Structure 1
Amino acid sequence: MNSLGQKFVADVGGTNIRLGLVENGRISTIKKYLCVDFEAIDDVILHFQKETSTSQFVAGCIAIACPVNDDLVKMTNHTWSFSKRALQAHLKLNHLDVINDYTAIAHSLPHLNHNQVIQIGEGHAKEHGNIAVFGPGTGLGVEHLTWTQNGWHTLDGEGGHVDFAPTDEDDLIIWRYLFKKFGRASAEEALSGRGIVNIYCAFCEDAGIVPKFSKPSDVTSAGLDNSDPMAHKAIAHFCQIMGSFAGNLALNLCTTGGIFIGGGITSKLQDFFLQSRFREKFEAKGGMSNYVNTIPTYLINEPDHGLLGALAYLIQQTQRIQDDK
């Protein structure tokens, strides 16, 4: 594939980086790498360039799991850091976008079809209605999307770091555990990989039981096969907290276009999650229940949605540059 002037897209998480080669406005080749196998992001992009026999990239869009407002980008859940300007110069790119990973995911949502999402409960999306997306993974990503005269526009923020809001007695057990451990109870410390462990340990401590597990995968496995009652209770309550959190997002911005759920953890819990009390807790907003019960909720069932969103963003930005000339 000896192509001069190719474009690329990247989806960078705390553990993995996925890179896609763009041809004719579509992603033709996707490669996945472990972040820890490379000293810097430059190294893995150049490795991908060599693996795809690409002579030179001219443009790219990197979706990454951390704040990206400044030139210096420091990953929250990994050691990589880089200057946008220096990276563009090193890769010899004419154009480079660096966006938050959930900005990319948000941009993918209007392009997903019914085969790429699973609806949970009732509700019907309104065309061009506000959209929210969130997903528990290494951290907790959150993004909103709104329609403007220039197309879809994301509303950036760090919604995963808002306060954890208890809604029942079990939530209070978790809140007390988090407050004692961190001095503050944030949503991310409940809705993430480590959040599953925190919930599990909170329930064990409350019951006077010594925790058996310290890894999210172990808690999840024991919960799914119901071999450990506390692990099963932890993942069940994890799904309920997701419902409450999603309902808050719906109230924040009247998300009549729907709430979408991504993240690696939810996909692993998919069958369990779909049978959970997620939607019940989503609608449990007291006097505002009628406000949210018509809003649809969806589980994203497309593994490459981050790359698709990075591509949608790259196309939108490069088209805007062309229009301005």
Structure 2
Amino acid sequence: MTLLVGDIGGTNSRFGLVARGELRPYGVQTLRNDDHSSFEEAVVAYLDAAAERPARAAFALAGPVVGRVSKLTNRDWPIDADALETRLGLDHVALLNDFVAQASALPHFRVGETTPIGAAPPSDAASKAALGPGTGLGVAGLLRAGGAWLPVPSEGGHIELAAVDAREFAIFERIRQGFGRISAEHVLSGPGFRRLHEALAAVEGAPAPGLEPAEIVAQAEAGDAHAAEAVALFLRLLARFAGDVALTFGAQGGVYLCGGVAPKLLGLLDVAAFRAAFEAKRPHDALMRKTATVVVTSEIAGLIGCAAAATSDLAA
């Protein structure tokens, strides 16, 4: 029996097919959400071009799942599992939060699908955590319980993010003007990266650059000091937040950075600075030094996690 799996973000939707007993998808295709009027239309577009018709489906969604329905946090797409079953003629449609899928994938990566940050090794004998900046900021835990893995959803990307020095306070004050508060997602996301870059310019009295994240990274790689500071600050804040997530979930098995943003910053990553920010969690700094930080570079992590969750009957 073939399973349709999908990793549905605010910008793109990635689909694939999984054979019975397997976790790794084939026939993978990425669709731009802007090209489709609804989630159902995107699924139909993929299935119309697929080599075979699946009997079941499991979709990882960038938003909270309540029972059998969901709505993407950063796109006005209501998603109803029962309606999808009827429209698509499927035996069963399961919905799960996208970072539940990312967390579910963590024990199943192959060599070359992750890149360590620092020397601390990950462990499959302890709980893990997944987080990742993208269109938003996803967070989930993967608890080790009785020899089994239990993914735990969260909306941790919306917790408060704090500044710790005068420069950060000045930058955060600029960002706060648009929101009234600063959540982690307001800064640690693709749009947040742009806000951070523009706030830095404002603090310096320079015009707002209005650059996209890829352009900021390109300028940093070319030696632009302002862009390089924005990248360094983004990574330092991401490391601090990752440390908080590790403490929250007791993730001594490792914290994994997922999604499309983190891999693009690897070339600019100062490993020592990242680990220093991650580990600075007194009185638990010794514990943090033993906790791995890992970048997930696999482009199919969400699909693997979808299949793992569906196989374990963890999806709704």
TM-score category (smaller protein): over 0.9
Match of residue 261, structure 2, among 262, 265, 280: 265
Deviation at 1:276, TM superposition (A): 6.7
| DSSP-derived class of the 2:312 partner | helix
Quote the residue 1:309 is aligned against.
305
The answer to whether the 8 Å contact 2:14/2:30 transfers is yes
State how far apart, in whole Å, the 2-side matches of 1:49 and 1:295 are. 42
State how far apart, in whole Å, the 2-side matches of 1:45 and 1:236 are. 38
* Structure 1: stretches of 5+ with no match in the other structure: none
State how far apart, in whole Å, the 2-side matches of 1:69 and 1:145 are. 20
Quote the residue 2:284 is aligned against.
288
* Structure 2: stretches of 5+ with no match in the other structure: none
The answer to whether the 8 Å contact 2:8/2:61 transfers is yes
Quote the residue 1:16 is aligned against.
12
Segment drifting more, 196-205 vs 145-154: 145-154
Quote the residue 1:39 is aligned against.
37
Segment drifting more, 261-270 vs 275-284: 275-284
Match of residue 184, structure 1, among 172, 181, 185: 181
Quote the residue 1:122 is aligned against.
119
Quote the residue 1:141 is aligned against.
138
State how far apart, in whole Å, the 1-side matches of 2:7 and 2:251 are. 25
Deviation at 1:70, TM superposition (A): 3.8
State how far apart, in whole Å, the 2-side matches of 1:219 and 1:315 are. 40
Quote the residue 2:161 is aligned against.
164
State how far apart, in whole Å, the 1-side matches of 2:271 and 2:223 are. 15
State how far apart, in whole Å, the 2-side matches of 1:50 and 1:181 are. 43
User: What's the CA shift string for 1:132-184, capped at 9, x where partnerless?
Assistant: 11111111011101022372111111000000122233321232122222101
Match of residue 247, structure 2, among 251, 265, 270: 251
The answer to whether the 8 Å contact 1:9/1:21 transfers is yes
What residue identity is the alignment partner of 1:153? L
State how far apart, in whole Å, the 2-side matches of 1:129 and 1:291 are. 13
Aligned-residue identity in percent: 29
State how far apart, in whole Å, the 2-side matches of 1:268 and 1:297 are. 16
Match of residue 195, structure 2, among 193, 198, 212: 198
Quote the residue 2:27 is aligned against.
29
Name the Cα RMSD after superposition.
2.0
| DSSP-derived class of the 2:94 partner | strand
The answer to whether the 8 Å contact 2:68/2:95 transfers is no
The answer to whether the 8 Å contact 2:243/2:281 transfers is yes
Segment drifting more, 101-110 vs 18-27: 18-27
User: What's the CA shift string for 1:285-306, capped at 9, x where partnerless?
Assistant: 2332112111111011211111
TM-score by length of 1: 0.91
TM-score by length of 2: 0.93
Which structure has more RCO (C-alpha within 8 Å, separation ≥ 6)? 2
Match of residue 234, structure 2, among 215, 231, 238: 238
State how far apart, in whole Å, the 2-side matches of 1:177 and 1:278 are. 24
User: What's the CA shift string for 1:231-272, capped at 9, x where partnerless?
Assistant: 211011101001100111111122111000012111111211
| DSSP-derived class of the 1:248 partner | helix
Distance 1:205 1:81, change over 3 A: same
Segment drifting more, 89-98 vs 217-226: 217-226
| DSSP-derived class of the 2:208 partner | coil
Quote the residue 2:79 is aligned against.
82
Deviation at 1:275, TM superposition (A): 4.5
